[in-house]
Structure 1
Amino acid sequence: MNKALNGVTILDFSHLLQGPFATQLLADMGANVIKIERAGSGDMFRSMTFFAKWVGGSESPNFLAWNRNKRSLALNLKSPEVHAIIMEMAKKADVVVQNFRPGVLAKLGYGYEDFKAVNPGIIYCSGSGYGEDGPYVTRPGQDMLIQGLSGLMANTGRGDQNPVPVGAGLADQIGAMNMVYGILSALYYREKTGIGQKIEVNLLAGLIAHLNQEYVGVLNLGEDFVRPNSGIGHPGMQAPFGVYETADGGYVTIAMSPFKTLYETLEAPALAVYDDLGTLFEKRDEVWEKVNAETKKFGTADLLDRLLAADIWCAEVKDIRKAAEDPQVTHLGLITSYEHPRAGTVRVVGPAIRMSETQPTIDRPAPLVGQHGREILAEFGISAETIARLEEGGDMTVSEA
């Protein structure tokens, strides 16, 4: 199948979420992603899971989520022979991706300058928590930590409770998108000039960039966000923007909508006394309580029908299982599956975009540790004798499907 990134080869040293999600997105687009893992244990995400359970009894849902469409080559990166082999591979590669702590790979001889020396056109994308220099360079850069440091967590949750991290690895996933954005831009630049480059992506910068409107508001308006005690959905917004209860135990979100339209639709004319922008902000907790009392008079489906008929911006709040069965999610084909040699049928979220000529697809399951090591090295001209020696010496792991 014709894909946008056919012919692009990526040496992917990344682990956990940020780098692997980025390279998965590129792999979905047809890039030849060679996942270079640690001999033996592989990517750290292989040993992490949710609910203390394993898909198919042995596989991590975390790893399965971010590593489809890749082949795995598991090597001992400290081995001089392995280093020489990877540098030979680099001569034919287009992109290197890694998200170890700053300096870790460079000490092993896999920094940007090492790859550039053998392939001046190489694009080297490096991900980190806080950047590759500065006072936090040695700190661990994990998603929840960045949510707290960036200001996002202080904006989330109710004012009379602790700040709340969002229920997904948002900083990592934004970091992944920035990696893709940088890599595609660098590929386009190299196509025009023949010049490769180093790309540095960090979680802190990425998440702060996505808080731009919040930073612009605070730094220019002389106000600080204060989380409301009610279900108002953003600390800078007035009522009714928020989450509301329904009669059958459900929840509905109501976004930016004319307040007059809302209270008329709810048949609650007494709410008219709040219909002023300043009042809706200053008394937003009180307004939320009043509106919530009205929404609780309706079942979830009835309330949604009523609000949507009045063109009020609203939606049901769903958990993961219900969202996966949502009719629009089904229509878009967002939930799909692949067959894994050990986990069996794995249900996953498919590519999020549609392309008329080069549609991204899922062609391979997430690999086993080193599953494709022999075929990858053979493709790069490494002899069968060398491959056998690497295996026998413990410098390469090959897991059979």
Structure 2
Amino acid sequence: MPKALQDVTVLDFTHLLQGPFATQLLGDMGADIIKVERPGQGDLFRTMTFKNRWVGGTESPNFLAWNRNKRSLAIDLKAPEAKEILYRIAEKADVVIQNFRPGVLAKLGFGYEDFKAVNPRIIYCSGSGYGDSGPYVARPGQDMLIQGLTGLAAATGRGDGAPTPVGSGFADQIGAMNMVYGILSALYWRERSGEGQEVKVDLMSGLLQHQHQEMLWVMNFEENLERPHSSIGHPGMDAPFGVYPTSDGWVTIAMSPYKKLIGVLDRPDLLVYDEPQLLFDKRDEIWAKIAEETRKWTAADLLDAMLAVDIWCGEIKRHLDVVDDPQVRHNGLITTYEHARAGTVKVVGPVVRMSATPPAIDRPAPMVGQHTEEILREFGIGEDAIGDLEARKVVAQAE
């Protein structure tokens, strides 16, 4: 079937998580992603994993997670020939995307103005930690650091414990979504105007925007929201919103009529708290009393009882349990692809549904330089020239 972005070519200088996730999303929609990597080494994420475990014994799960539907071009960016090759690709490319520290690629001759001179219709998207100027511009823009700087870590966890980062690369992934949002908007504008442009995204701004309801409250009332000392699920919410223990696990209870929950638990004495200000002021005390009751139930029985009266609730599952969740299976979210070294790799597939141009996994994550020769041939570089470039280690093909 056709793909929505099948005529879009992306020259991808990204590494680690933010940029690679953005280009993977574009690749899932059919864009031709030419991933530029260092010969032999490639993306730094190829060397990183959790618990020193490697898929198929050799491949980084961190890299595999964000780099499907791409081709790898291994090229030394400092070699004089690199400009000639990459500018030739840029003449026909639609998008250049990079997430190096501000100024790094421009010093090598791969900034927006360099590519604009080659192709005025080019869309050049940069992702950074804090923007390309200002007091933090030289700081490392890593996900957990951004969570701390924007207030997210301080708003997460129990009030009697340390600030708690989110258990995923949330800032990076929000940054990736903003990159895609900016790139698609720029492509649409170019279709109408014929003009390319520069798009800039930074992690700090993106994560701050995604806490807008909390920020708006704090700024307008000039007061911080304090974390509860219990498992109430948000610093601004009242009881019973939160996480509760059962005899065999945990459940979540979201915005629900307090009276209905007290009815399920058969504790009419707790109705004394049923007043909006008390439900906030006494939320930790209320949480403890409700938790005493939820511990008497199995998670399944409690969920059945709450769902029967339309209380908003759900299970707490660990990642391995999620794989077998009936709704996850129904939606077909877990799939596989075959990798030359890693073998069969289990992955979460594309999540956007499109009737005419559905996304798909057409390529596994590439090996470093796996497509170098293929890409160079496509852009008119002959066999003798390719052989010479490889001999002088300007480019490299995967072994």
Place the TM-score, normalised by the shorter chain, in its bin.
Answer: over 0.9
TM alignment of 1:1-400, pairs within 5 A: 1-248=1-248, 250-400=249-399
Shift in Å, 1:8? 0.3
The secondary structure found in structure 2 opposite 1:261 is: helix
Give deviations 1:198-217, integer Å, cap 9, x for gaps: 00000000000000000000
Determine helix, strand or coil for the equivalent of 1:328: helix
SS in 2 for 1:11: strand
Q: What are structure 1's unaligned runs of at least 5 residues?
A: none
Structure 1 counterpart SS, 2:92: coil
In 1, the alpha carbon distance for the partners of 2:268 and 2:352 equals: 43
Quick one: percent identity of the two aligned structures?
A: 66
Displacement of 1:396 in angstroms is 1.3
Deviation sequence 1:104-161 (CA, Å, 0-9, x none): 0000000000000000000000000000011111110000000000000000011111
The residue type equivalent to 2:369 in the other structure is G
Q: CA deviation at 1:223?
A: 2.2
Matches of 1:185 and 1:208, distance apart in 2: 21
**d(CA) in 1 for partners of 2:334 and 2:270?**
41
- Deviations along 1:212-233, one digit per CA (max 9) or x if unpaired, are 0000000112321111110000
Aligned residues: 399
After superposing on structure 2, the runs of 4+ consecutive aligned residues of structure 1 that deviate more than 4 Å are none
Paired AA for residue 366 in structure 2: P
The one-letter amino acid paired with 1:2 is P
Q: Which moved more, 1:202-211 or 1:222-231?
A: 222-231
Which deviates more from structure 2 when the two are superposed, residues 265-274 or residues 334-343? 265-274
For 2:239 and 2:223, how far apart are their aligned partners in 1? 18
**In 1: Cα distance, 2:140 partner to 2:223 partner:** 31
Q: Distance in 2 between the 1:101 and 1:11 partners? A: 17
Structure 2 unmatched runs, 5+: none
C-alpha separation in 2, matches of 1:224 and 1:81? 55
The Cα offsets for residues 218-250 of structure 1, whole Å up to 9 and x where unpaired, read as: 0112321111110000011101000000011x0
1:304-351 deviation digits (Å, cap 9, x = unpaired)? 111111111111010000011100011001111100000000000011
Match of 1:114, as an amino acid? D
